[in-house]
Amino acid sequence: MSTRRQNTTLIATLGWLLICIVALLLAASVATAQTARDDSPMGFDDARHLLNRTSFAAQTADIENYARLTRAEAVDRLLAETRRHAAYPAPAWTAKYERVYRPDMTQEQRMQANRRELIERGLEIRTWWVAEMLSTPTPLTEKMTLFWHNHFATSQQKVRSAQLMYRQNVLLRSYALGNFGALLREISKDPAMLVYLDGAQNRKGAPNENFARELMELFTLGEGQYNEADIKEVARAFTGWSLEPETGEFRFRRGIHDDGEKTVFGARGRLNGDDIVTLLLRQPGTGEFIVGKLWQEFVSPELSPAAVKRLAALWRDSNYEIKPLMRAMLLSDDFWSPANRASLVKSPVDLVIGSLRQFRFSVEDPAPFAIILRQLGQDLFGPPNVKGWPGGEAWLNTTTLLARKGFLNRLFRADEMLKPTLAAGDDMAGKQDMVAQPAAALIDRDMMGERRQRAQTRLAVRGGAADRLPPFGVSNQLRGQYFFNADEWFRQMRAAMQGGRGGDDDKIVRTLLAGPPVQAPREVPHTLAGLRTVALDPMYQLK
Partner 1 sequence: MTLNRREFLAALSAAAAAGVGVVAAPGAFAQSPTTTATSPYKRLLILVELKGANDGLNTFVPYADPAYYALRPTLGIKRDQVLQLNDKFGLHPALDLLMPMWAKGELAAVTGLGYPQPNLSHFRSIEIWDTASNANDYLAEGWLARAFATVAPPKSFVADGIAVGGGDLGPLANGSRALSIASTEAFVRQAKLADPHGRASNKALQHILRLEGEAQSAALNIDPKVTLKTEFPTHAFGQQVKTAMQVVAASPGVAALRVGLGSFDTHQGQPGTQQTLLKQLAEGINAIRQASLELGRWQDTAIVTYCEFGRRAKENQSNGTDHGTANTQFVIGGGVKGGLYGSHPSLTQLSGDGNLLFTTDYRALYSTLLTQWWGFSGAQSEKVLAGKYAPLSLFS
The contact set with partner 1 (CB under 8 A) reads 6-7, 10-12, 14-19, 22, 158, 197-198, 201-203, 205-210, 213, 217, 223-224, 228, 231-232, 301, 342-345, 377, 384-387, 390, 393-394, 396-403, 405-406, 409, 444, 446-447, 449-451, 515-516, 518-519, 536, 538-539, 541-542
Cβ at position 415, least distance to partner 1 in Å: 15
Nearer to partner 1, 387 or 462 (CB): 387
* Contact call for residues 348 and 377 (beta carbons, < 8 A): yes
What span, in angstroms and rounded, lies between the C-alpha atoms of 49 and 181? 30
Q: Which residues are registered as beta bridge partners of 542?
A: 345
Nearer to partner 1, 67 or 216 (CB): 216
Cβ at position 508, least distance to partner 1 in Å: 20
DSSP letter string, 75-123: HHHHHHT--SS-SSPPPGGGGS---SS-TTS-HHHHHHHHHHHHHHHHH
Cβ at position 349, least distance to partner 1 in Å: 17
Cβ at position 148, least distance to partner 1 in Å: 19
What 8-state DSSP symbol labels residue 241? E
Nearer to partner 1, 17 or 474 (CB): 17
Residue 526: strand, helix, or coil: coil
Cβ at position 374, least distance to partner 1 in Å: 11
Count CB atoms within 10 A of the CB of residue 401: 15
Nearer to partner 1, 46 or 230 (CB): 230
Q: Using H for helix, E for strand and C for coil, what is the string for 244-304? A: ECCCCEEEECHHHCCCCCEEECCEEECCCHHHHHHHHHHCHHHHHHHHHHHHHHHCCCCCC
Cβ at position 389, least distance to partner 1 in Å: 11
What span, in angstroms and rounded, lies between the C-alpha atoms of 407 and 338? 30
What span, in angstroms and rounded, lies between the C-alpha atoms of 194 and 165? 11
Nearer to partner 1, 65 or 210 (CB): 210
The secondary structure of the chain in percent helix, strand, coil, rounded to multiples of 5, reads 60, 5, 35
What span, in angstroms and rounded, lies between the C-alpha atoms of 179 and 93? 29
Q: Which of 508, 536, 390 is nearest to 60 (CA)?
A: 508
Nearer to partner 1, 29 or 278 (CB): 29
Cβ at position 72, least distance to partner 1 in Å: 27
φ, ψ of residue 394 to 5 degrees: the values are -65, -15
Nearer to partner 1, 160 or 327 (CB): 160
Cβ at position 217, least distance to partner 1 in Å: 5
Cβ at position 5, least distance to partner 1 in Å: 11
Cβ at position 371, least distance to partner 1 in Å: 14
* Contact call for residues 336 and 33 (beta carbons, < 8 A): yes
With both helix axes pointing from N to C terminus, report the angle between 322-330 and 71-80 in degrees, rounded to the nearest 10.
150
Nearer to partner 1, 172 or 235 (CB): 235
List, as own/partner pairs, every contact residues 500-504 make where C-beta atoms lie below 8 angstroms and the sequence separation is at least 24, other chains included: 500/43, 500/44
Nearer to partner 1, 141 or 239 (CB): 239
Q: Using H for helix, E for strand and C for coil, what is the string for 320-377? A: CEHHHHHHHHHCCHHHHCHHHCCCCECCHHHHHHHHHHHCCCEECCCHHHHHHHHHCC
Cβ at position 345, least distance to partner 1 in Å: 5
Nearer to partner 1, 210 or 278 (CB): 210
With both helix axes pointing from N to C terminus, report the angle between 348-358 and 398-411 in degrees, rounded to the nearest 10.
10
* Contact call for residues 354 and 373 (beta carbons, < 8 A): no
Nearer to partner 1, 17 or 495 (CB): 17
Cβ at position 450, least distance to partner 1 in Å: 4
Nearer to partner 1, 136 or 225 (CB): 225
Nearer to partner 1, 223 or 426 (CB): 223
* Contact call for residues 433 and 452 (beta carbons, < 8 A): no
Our CA dihedral for 158, 159, 163, 165, rounded to 10 degrees, sits at: -90
- For the chain, give the number of residues: 543
Cβ at position 361, least distance to partner 1 in Å: 20
The secondary element (H helix, E strand) that includes residue 481 is: strand 481-485
